[in-house]
């Protein structure tokens, strides 16, 4: 498995500090804050999406001692946040759109006057992290969540080596075709996914095949293994999840991270075109449907 230990280096901390980001300087801090974003993007190749983004003070979480900056791209999409102290020293940064437990504990420690308690953890960003590239998440709209998640997986593959899966079809057409395949397989259920997705692939490229496996009550290792192999998957959430207290929800998982002694899945929810991290919960993440595209065969039956 590919695991990444990402440490905020002394050089990066000095560069960020030299930018002069001040906790109480909105107008003066705008340019400096954006400079921090570019410094992080240049220093850490996991944050290249921050290049050219802007940073704005998050007043809800900032204090006199620690300022939280929200990172926003040119389209207005949230790309994470970072923390600096009153001197402008970069403390921590993250791709999460909302502050995680580490950030909240860090801010709380400073607010309580216990900055020494938080300081040892400041240099560490993530200990384990992997997110698929080439993402182009689409919205669920009025479609069933299982249909939309399966469609998002096909949409991902179509933009990453398997263009025949969507061709010139619109996202609406792809969802409509996937809905037809699930209906033919017996309905919109997780267990019908192998038949439905296989039919979809056959319709669009009969010389190709796909391996689909439904895994109930999976271990988080399956998420890690699939992402490390470069494959997105359908990730189910039981009732009681952040999406609904009464209904289950199906998503597409396209990455992971380890933070604060918890695994997080990087998820395309269908409700937003920007993926977000959600903590892994054995009691909530009740199903993973793996989808592996296979090599196609030529007329002689040989794999190419």
For the chain (length 304 residues), average pLDDT per consecutive 10? Answer: 30 31 30 73 79 90 87 84 83 75 69 50 48 94 98 97 95 98 98 98 92 97 92 98 96 88 92 93 98 66 35
* Rounded Cα gap, residues 229 and 217, in angstroms: 21
Strand-pairing partners, residue 263, are 258
Tokens of 36: 């921090």
| Rg of the chain on CA atoms, in Å | 21
Q: Which of 143, 162, 149 has its CA nearest to residue 292?
A: 162
Q: What is the DSSP letter of 247?
A: S
Both tokens assigned to 259:
């933070």
The angle, 0 to 180 degrees and rounded to 10, between the axes of the packed helices 145-158 and 193-204 is: 40
Chain centre to alpha carbon of residue 265: 7
Both tokens assigned to 227: 């992402």
Residue 207 three-state SS: coil
d(CA 300, CA 131): 37
Beta-bridge partners for 214: 289
Q: What angle do CA 275, 263, 217 make, to 5 degrees?
A: 90
Give the up-direction half-sphere exposure of residue 14: CA atoms within 13 A in the CB hemisphere. 3
The maximal CA–CA distance of the chain, rounded, in angstroms, is: 73
Angle at 190 between CA 184 and CA 191, to 5 degrees: 70
What pLDDT does residue 48 have? 80
pTM to 2 decimal places: 0.61
Domains and CATH numbers, the chain: 6-126 (no CATH), 145-293 (3.90.70.30)
The tokens for 1 are: 């498995």
Ordered strands of the 66-72 beta sheet: 54-57, 66-72, 78-85, 90-94
Among 95, 85, 88, 71, which Cα is nearest to 18's?
88
């Amino acid at each position: 498995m590919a695991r990444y230990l990402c440490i905020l280096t002394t050089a990066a901390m000095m560069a960020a500090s030299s930018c002069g980001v001040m906790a109480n300087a909105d107008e003066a801090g705008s340019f400096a804050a954006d400079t921090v974003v570019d410094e992080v993007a240049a220093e850490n190749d996991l944050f290249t999406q921050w290049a050219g983004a802007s940073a704005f003070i998050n007043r809800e979480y900032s204090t006199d001692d620690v300022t939280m900056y929200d990172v926003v791209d040119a389209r207005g999409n949230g790309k994470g946040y970072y923390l600096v102290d009153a001197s402008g020293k970069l403390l921590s940064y993250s791709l999460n759109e909302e502050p995680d437990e580490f950030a909240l504990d860090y801010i709380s420690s400073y607010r309580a006057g216990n900055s020494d308690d938080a300081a040892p953890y400041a240099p560490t960003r993530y200990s384990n992290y992997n997110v698929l590239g080439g993402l182009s998440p689409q919205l669920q709209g009025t479609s069933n969540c299982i249909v939309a998640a399966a469609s998002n997986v096909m949409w991902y593959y179509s933009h990453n080596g398997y263009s025949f899966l969507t061709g010139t079809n619109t996202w609406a057409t792809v969802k409509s075709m996937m809905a037809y395949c699930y209906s033919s397989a017996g309905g919109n259920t997780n267990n019908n996914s192998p038949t439905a997705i296989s039919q979809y692939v056959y319709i669009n490229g009969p010389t190709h095949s796909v391996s689909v496996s439904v895994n109930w009550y999976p271990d988080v290792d399956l998420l890690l293994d699939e992402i490390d192999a470069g494959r997105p998957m359908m990730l189910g959430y039981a009732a009681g999840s952040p999406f609904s207290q009464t209904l289950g929800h199906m998503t597409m998982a396209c990455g992971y991270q380890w933070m604060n002694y918890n695994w997080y899945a990087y998820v395309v929810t269908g409700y937003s075109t920007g993926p977000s991290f959600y903590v892994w919960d054995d009691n909530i993440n009740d199903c993973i449907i793996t989808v592996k595209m296979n090599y196609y065969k030529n007329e002689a039956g040989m794999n190419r």
